[in-house]
Structure 1
Amino acid sequence: MALNPAQAEAVAHRGAPLIVLAGAGTGKTRVITHRVASLLEEGIPPWRILAVTFTNRAAREMQGRIAALCGAVAGLDEMWVGTFHAIGAKILRRHADRMGLSSSFAIYDRDDQLQVMRRAIRDAGYDPKFHPPGAMLGHVDRAKQRGLGPEQAGRLDLPEPVAAAFAEVYAAYQARLAAAEAVDFGDLLRLPVELLRGASGGGQLGDLDPLARLRHRFLHVVVDEYQDTNPIQAELVELLAEGAELCVVGDDDQAIYGWRGADVAQILSFPRRHADAKMVRLEQNYRSTGHILRCADAIIAKNAGRLGKTLYCEAGDGEKVRVVRCLDERDEAAFVARDVAALLDRGVPATEIAVFYRTHAQSRVLEQELRNLHVPTRIYGGLSFFARAEIKDILAYLVLVVQPHSDAHMV
């Protein structure tokens, strides 16, 4: 399928920063992969291109699509394609010595971090009962999302006496990570940014500094889902794009991760931070029908501060959207179950029917009502394989083999 005019414009733009406002179902992944393929066809070496995504799955899909379009290009595996954390880990492992780490440092997951935090709270002279590890880790996460180390903990503006305790606990937490030659996920972004900030400037010294060269390694940087970036991720992009043409792709209308530190201001302020930036809007939707798009637009149009776009499609109006008022959650679940059963009776395959809910707490009553009507169901997003206790035990032993100083895995 050929690119539509807006997609083609985004793929072909050169010479200045580019922001692509990509509404849901408008083919943004297609634009990103074709843009990268176009750069490769123009002779840009793969090692001088960086593409950043938010999930490992998206990174694998992007690599696969680019390979399908440009499989004959030599050195394709030298192109950097990965998540923010994967890119940060690659930089940190290459320059770990500058942070007092070995290149084989461990990366602690949430459970590991909680173990370390409990000990850090006691190290700092506090009681975990009054300063819960989970809450303290939440403060650490917010600090690292803003690029703040222990010495800058006061800039979180926490109320007293939490602020004073947190500053000491944060320092003790980082000390324990360092002693174990470990980092957490926040460090995979904060520490590379610290390294790149401190890289030598221009001139001969800059030419000798590998981190300074890294800041000018890339000629083109492409970032997906830019609306979900937090301040430290946005700074990492800017540092790596110092000598590059920067292309960010996102949708301010789909900014839903504020609870984990994402800041929609990053995409909203991009045109102001890059005054010469070109803005391309992808508005032709290939996923929905007219009624759905108009309903969605009528709701989102009320948001303040949008960069703005109007989605349309060529698939016709389709069925009208139904809005149903129910008495309570059980009445709602019974209505959904009856609707699903009716669709199955009409011959609609079960694999073509999906029920979305906001939180897993809502699934129990839905499962019960569907079971009452003998409707088979499959729940997605439950306990993952790697979250099982026996698997975590095996992984802990393997980490100890590679990193014997990792005391979080000796519990």
Structure 2
Amino acid sequence: MVTPTRAQEEIRDHAALDLLVVAPAGCGKTEALALRVQGMLNRSEVVSPRKVLVVTFSNRARDNIRERLRSYIGVNTLRDRVSVVNFHGLSARIIRAHANVIGLSPDLKIPETDIIGKACKTRNFGYALESRVKDALRDAKLEPRSDLEVQEYLSTNREVHALEIEQERVSRGELSYDDLPRLAELILANERVASLYKAHFGAVVVDEFQDLTPQQLRIVNAIGYKRTTFAGDLAQGIYGFTGAKPSEVNAAIEEECTSRVTFAESHRSSPAVLAAVNSLSSLTSGVELTAAIPDRWPGGGMFSIVPFPDSEAEALWMVELAQGLLERAPSHRVGIMARTAARRRFVEAELVKREIDFMRWDDGVLDTDAARMMRSMLSSFDLRGYERAENKDQFLREAVGIDSVVETDSKKSLAEALVWCQDLLQQDVSVFEIRSRVRVGDDSTLVTKPGIHVLTGHAGKGQQFDWALIVGAEDGTLPFFKAESDEELAEEARVLSVMLSRARHGAVIGYAKNVRTQAGRPRDYDPSPFLLPLKKAEPRDRSSLRSWLASVDWEMIGAR
């Protein structure tokens, strides 16, 4: 266990069950939430047999907080007094136990994969149509509608393809990921059921409140209104495309909670990185942060903005910079990030050209058996047969022999790999390249290994790198050209802030005057408007960056 900070102690010792914890990246939020649960149990605010419900958004966040709870309250108390689940797990639990109260069978099939994406691929939908279908179904299910009302909504909005897929889902007795919170909310509208959960859980803790949809907030309130600790950071709210509404949810939580604790010290990032993040706070509604121990960062850390004539020159320079950083500090992790996967393709091409090993976060990360089967299939893949097949999803399933796999987790891993493979085939990626991109391992061994990592800003949320190299800071890419409303533009600024805040020692932002489109045509761009407020952080130019790299104590940096 670590020595708690003053803010963490305040959260632990706060007596009322309702609390808003504003915790920017790298400020010790997970530790604080574990302490919060410990304090509630020690003060007997939640008395046995009642439990504390801890809700996260990802399996990784769930596992992280479980690990911290074990160290503070012990394995037995964790098992008996705390339930740690992600939102899908909580919703599935409610559906399995009480589906009958809304006239549904408790035997409905809980999703293990993206069944909507699979249905779209079975129908050979292109990217645009698949996106429209998914958006239509998501929007239909963000409100507490019954199956019939969902179909009526889709019919009224003339979403023919989405309606067809929804009708087939209902007929098969399957659930999609979007169905889980929808049905959970419908079930909790039954006061008798809601009262069972209110009685069972004496307090609720929600991690990353800024990622809540209004629907998920209603589920939380049905169980623990005025008895919930919400922790997160509005400046990290970047999931509007999933239905999250950070500003709306934040306003509702501030009205619900009588007390608020704000973290303002970062234990993750250098003063230079924090200055960059702080310079965007007027756009992101973020907290002004300071380094907890500023003297621990050699040279105060580094932040730089570098212009380039074109995207190829940017990619070449960024790859060489990443190599130089790793030569000086081989144990470090360098994250090369972009707002979109398409914009970072120049970096990937340069890495492949130079035969530099790197971790592409979009790629299939598979267990050994699934990777072996995928590579075997792709080594003798019948591409012409695939292209002629009416049901391409079924073609892939038969080609890899998925029905012969008995072990559940391996089958799930293989099914997800087939979806990834089909996405790449639709993008005309060669079979040889797909095979070369199959990686063996798991999130803990590959995603956290030293070296170069290539990813989007959204994928990097919740992670950290020693260095963050951000490419593509052009108007139209960042902010994305589809962002028009004030809230959409604020979310784009948050994406940039999230990418910057991944960095420990230093961050570099690059932008290009000319970017070649995916069709191969050159196109001129203006710099991102977000670069203007970043000037307050006094970024280094290319020459000053070189001087910093040459003068800083690399022995000390490599040891941190």
TM-score norm. by structure 2 comes to: 0.59
Q: Summarize deviations over 1:235-259 as a string: whole Å, max 9, x none.
A: 10000114x6211001001111111
Cα separation, partners in 2 of 1:372 and 1:180, compared to 1, 3 Å? closer
SS of the equivalent of 1:238 reads helix
User: Does residue 194 of structure 2 align to residue 233 of structure 1?
Assistant: no
Task: For 1:329, give the aligned amino acid.
Answer: S
1:278 aligns to 2:259 (yes or no): yes
Residue 247 (structure 2) pairs with residue 255 (structure 1): no
How many angstroms apart in 2 are the aligned matches of 1:249 and 1:155?
37
Q: Structure 2: any 5+ residue segments left out of the alignment?
A: 375-395, 409-560
TM-superposed CA distance for 1:394, in Å, is: 3.4
Asked if 1:297 is matched to 2:278, the reply is yes
Q: Percent of aligned positions with the same letter in both sequences?
A: 24
Give 1:30's aligned amino acid.
E
**Matched ranges for 1:29-68 at <5 A:** 29-43=30-44, 44=46, 45=48, 47-68=50-71
2:350 and 2:121 map into 1 onto residues whose CA distance is 42
Q: Deviations over 1:207-257 (max 9, x none)?
A: xx4443223322110000000111111110000114x62110010011111
Match of residue 93, structure 1, among 78, 96, 99:
96
What root-mean-square deviation, in Å, do the aligned CA atoms of Structure 1 and Structure 2 show? 3.4
Q: Secondary structure at the match of 2:20?
A: strand
Matches within 5 A, 1:100-249: 100-108=103-111, 112-114=115-117, 132=129, 134-149=131-146, 163-166=156-159, 173-199=165-191, 209-242=192-225, 245-249=227-231
For structure 1, the 5+ residue unaligned runs are 122-127, 200-208, 400-411
Answer 1 or 2: higher relative contact order, Cα 8 Å, separation at least 6. 1
- After TM superposition, the structure 1 = structure 2 runs for residues 276-355 of structure 1, keeping only pairs within 5 Å, are 277-303=258-284, 306=285, 309-313=287-291, 314-316=293-295, 318-345=300-327, 347-349=328-330, 351-355=332-336
Cα distance change of structure 1 residues 233 and 338 upon mapping to structure 2, 3 Å threshold? same
Distance 1:342 1:74 in 2: 48
1:37 CA drift (Å): 1.8
Which amino acid in the other structure matches residue 269 of structure 2?
A: S
Name the count of aligned residue pairs: 371
Distance in 2 separating the partners of 1:250 and 1:340 = 31
C-alpha distance after superposition, 1:258-278 (max 9, x if no partner)? 11111112442135531x520
Shift of residue 193, structure 1, vs aligned partner: 0.7
| Partners of 1:371 and 1:81 in 2: CA distance | 41
Instruction: Output the CA distance in 1 between the equivalents of 2:343 and 2:5.
Output: 40
Cα offset for 1:173? Answer: 4.8
- Determine the C-alpha separation between the residues in 1 that align with 2:33 and 2:11: 9
CA positional deviation for 1:71: 1.4
User: Which of 381, 390, 403 is the matching residue for 2:362?
Assistant: 381
Amino acid at match of 2:403: I
- CA separation in 2, counterparts of 1:226 and 1:302? 19
Query: 1:119-144, CA deviations, whole angstroms, 9 ceiling, x for partnerless residues?
Result: 9x9xxxxxx89x94652332111221
SS at match of 2:53: strand
Which stretches of structure 1, 4 residues or longer, exceed 6 Å deviation after superposition? 168-171, 395-399
- C-alpha contact (below 8 Å) 1:108/1:182 kept by paired residues: yes
> Does the Cα contact within 8 Å between 2:50 and 2:199 map onto a contact in 1?
no
Structure (1/2) with the larger strand percentage: 2
CA distance in 2, matches of 1:150, 1:284: 47
In structure 2, what is the equivalent of residue 394 of structure 1? 403
Structure 2 equivalent of residue 124 of structure 1 = none
